[in-house]
Structure 1
Amino acid sequence: MSAAKLRSSAWGYGLSSPALLLFLALLVVPLGLTVLLSFNAFDYSSGIQAGQYTLGHYLSLVTDTYYYEIFFRTFWISALVTLLCVLIGIPEALVLSRMGAPWRSIFLILVLTPLLISVVVRAFGWSLLLGADGLVNQGITALGGQPVKLLYTPFAVIIGLVHVMLPFMIIPVWTSLQKLDPAAEQAALSLGASQWTVFRRIVLPQIMPGVLSGTLIVFGLAASSFAIPGLLGGRRLKMVATMIYDQYLAELNWPMGATIAVALLLINLLVMLSWNRLVERRYKRALGV
């Protein structure tokens, strides 16, 4: 390798070193310490046993059906939230992309505005709507019906998560739509293709990178969400994030909390990488790549 290339390589590493150090300090080191903590022995009478390591926390996690139930609930709710965000977000992004100025900018701001409001504030807003004396039940009672239990149910958690996660689906899809050539749609329509055929065979394959990005973001955030399940699901409807919180602050069993956190991370990575590979394969097949 020539001296010029060596200098160029060293200069590149030098420029990227602050970002790498920040990455190591804020992500790799805390994650490594969490993994190490998950192997520490724990006793309720004396706390964490320094220098003593065990696989007992992981064995409890894979043998106790209590944890299975909570992990299953977390992932089916996250999958349903992702599906609803896809069904709502794609049409909304399509409408947004076809708007003219100034309406496009106005509605884009409306889509992004909820991100400026705290998740806790939005969760309390939904609790006021879905509570026993909330506006929804007041409307049902006014129409002659009986109040329905909505708060502290999976329905409330799903509604809250969809509200929070929807912008993360709309924006990637809308960005992909900006790269779409309108002439391709017009050519297909002029040749007699229906609107559904144009969407299925021309639009959808080309916006799949945006859909893939949106689904990965929404699923990952929903599976690890704490505020919405904690405030709208209550103490009985536990999800993995609320269970981790209980282990750390209620049980004071930090090693078990770290074990659950590591398991959540690994399962999330497995699901997301599998989904990414599946969608990318179908995307390349659809485009004939």
Structure 2
Amino acid sequence: MTATAATTTAAPPAAAAASTSASAQRAPWALVLPALALFVAVLVVPLAMTVLLSFHNWGQYTGIEPVLVLKNWAEIWSDGYFLEMFVRTFRIAALATVLTALLGAPEAYILHRMRPPWKGLFLLVVLGPLLISVVARTLGWALLFGGENGVANKGLIALGLIDRPLPFMFTETGVVIALAHVMMPFMVLSVWAALQRLDPQIENAATSLGAGSLTVIGRIILPQIMPGILAGGIIVFSLSASAFATPAIIGGRRLKVASTLAYDEFLNTLNWPLGAAVAVLLLLAIVLIVVGSNALIERRYAEVFR
């Protein structure tokens, strides 16, 4: 009788513990659910609708037809015009990434070596462009380029670097320069974050042992900040390949890329299914490139630090 009563009195605490454990397991899902619902509503659903739209038929007189076809995708794969647009898009993105790496890495290192209050001031200068609209910054570059009589050409001629004006507007060179300026803060921040883990005493020790400046940079600094450069390169490349405002303003209608091509198909020719196919293909290409690059980088550094 006593044992039975003890068992009976012990059962409710066990049930309460099980209920508490179940509630604890459901709590993370309850906290994540609002963000997950927002993510699905503003990203997954529009992307799914865009993918579905890319398989619809379109006629000049009938508009969008509720018929699922592969016509738009076949047109993109068979027409060399679309291939040229995508090759140009990724070429411009790659050149902008290289330019930001060549200029942003030294800039981040100099920023890292500065002392307060100059470090905070110049960090604000680097991050300041992020507070300004991309359109405003690109329009500033359009004013600087400004054809043969632009400020850029006049300055280069005055310095004796060129003899005749260079074409910047409506060229890949102008788009790459403007994109590099727009994306520079992302590269600087990535490299600067990597530099925070760099111990300055290692540089001092190498210098005291007779290593020159180039040796210190090439053998000590560069290997340690390379993950930051690669991470910044992935960010800059993906943002540059999908950029719209800068190629549209600097490149104009003479120099189209994939994003401006999709825009024209949506709003000029009103061929929404073809524009959706271009946009989806651009997204897939960027995702594959970014994921593949990240996998190669992780494998490389896993082998190095094994």
Shorter-normalised TM range: over 0.9
Residue matched to 1:224: 242
2:238 counterpart of 1:238: no
Deviates more, 1:265-274 or 1:147-156: 147-156
The residue number in structure 2 matching 1:14 is 30
Secondary structure, counterpart of 2:243 in structure 1: coil
Cα offset for 1:123?
A: 1.4
Q: Which secondary structure does the structure 2 equivalent of 1:42 belong to?
A: strand
Instruction: Write the distance in 1 (CA, Å) between the matches of 2:156 and 2:228.
Output: 39
Question: 1:273 corresponds to which letter in structure 2?
Answer: V
Q: Specify the alignment match of 1:202 in structure 2.
A: 220
The aligned residue for residue 93 of structure 1 is 108
Structure 1 pair 104/140, CA: closer, same or farther in 2 (3 Å)? closer
Matched, 1:81 2:96: yes
* Mapped partners of 1:96, 1:199: distance in 2: 15
Instruction: After TM superposition, give the deviation of residue 16 of structure 1 in Å.
Output: 1.0
Separation (CA, whole Å) in 2 of partners of 1:199 and 1:8: 51
Give how far 1:124 is off. Answer: 1.4
Give deviations 1:44-68, integer Å, cap 9, x for gaps.
Answer: 1110002x10011111111110001
Deviation at 1:222, TM superposition (A): 0.3
Pick which of 143-152 and 270-279 moved more. Answer: 143-152
Q: 1:184-199 residue pairs with structure 2 within 5 A?
A: 184-199=202-217
Measured at CA, do residues 284 and 129 of structure 1 come closer, stay the same or move farther in structure 2, by a change above 3 Å? same
Partner of 1:41: 57
Structure 2 counterparts to residues 242-281 of structure 1, below 5 A: 242-281=260-299
Q: Does the C-alpha gap of structure 1 residues 168 and 69 become closer, same or farther in structure 2, counting only changes over 3 Å? A: same
Instruction: Tell me which residue corresponds to 1:129.
Output: 144
Q: Look up the match of 2:231.
A: 213
The one-letter code sitting in structure 2 at the alignment partner of 1:115 is L
TM-score, length-scaled by structure 2: 0.88
Q: Return the alpha-carbon distance in structure 2 between the equivalents of residues 87 and 5 of structure 1.
A: 54
User: C-alpha separation between the residues in 1 aligned to 2:64 and 2:289?
Assistant: 32
Aligned to 2:134: 119
User: Aligned residues, how many?
Assistant: 287
Distance 2:247 2:136 in 1: 14
Instruction: Tell me the equivalent position of 2:4.
Output: none
Q: Note if contact 1:140-1:146 (Cα within 8 Å) is conserved in structure 2.
A: no
Structure 2 unaligned blocks of 5 or more? 1-16
CA deviation after TM superposition for structure 1 residue 203, in Å:
2.5
Cα deviations across residues 213-256 of structure 1 (Å, max 9, x unaligned)?
21111001100111111110010110011000000000101110
What is the aligned counterpart of 1:167 among 170, 173, 185?
185
- How large is the Cα RMSD of the aligned pairs? 1.9
SS at the partner of 2:141? helix
TM-superposed CA distance for 1:116, in Å, is 1.3
Structure 2 residue matching 1:205: 3-state secondary structure: helix
1:28 paired residue among 25, 44, 60: 44
| Residue matched to 2:8 | none
**Deviation digits for residues 168-191 of structure 1, max 9, x if unmatched?**
100111011112222333333333
2:134 and 2:58 map into 1 onto residues whose CA distance is: 34
CA distance in 2, matches of 1:7, 1:74: 50
How far, CA to CA, are the matches of 1:193 and 1:149 in structure 2? 44
CA distance in 1, matches of 2:46, 2:260: 20
Q: Which amino acid aligns with 2:23?
A: R
* Structure 1 outlier segments of 4+, above 6 Å: 141-144
Q: Distance in 1 between matches of 2:59 and 2:177?
A: 39
What percentage of residue pairs aligned between the two structures are identical?
Answer: 48
Q: Which residue of 1 aligns with 2:75?
A: 60
Question: What letter is aligned with 1:136?
Answer: A
Q: Call closer, same or farther: CA 1:105–1:124 in 2, change over 3 Å.
A: same
SS in 2 for 1:115: helix
Secondary structure of 1:270's partner?
Answer: helix
Residues 59-101 of structure 1: per-residue CA shift (max 9 Å, x gap): 1111110001010001011001001111111110000000000
Conserved 8 A contact 1:176-1:207: yes
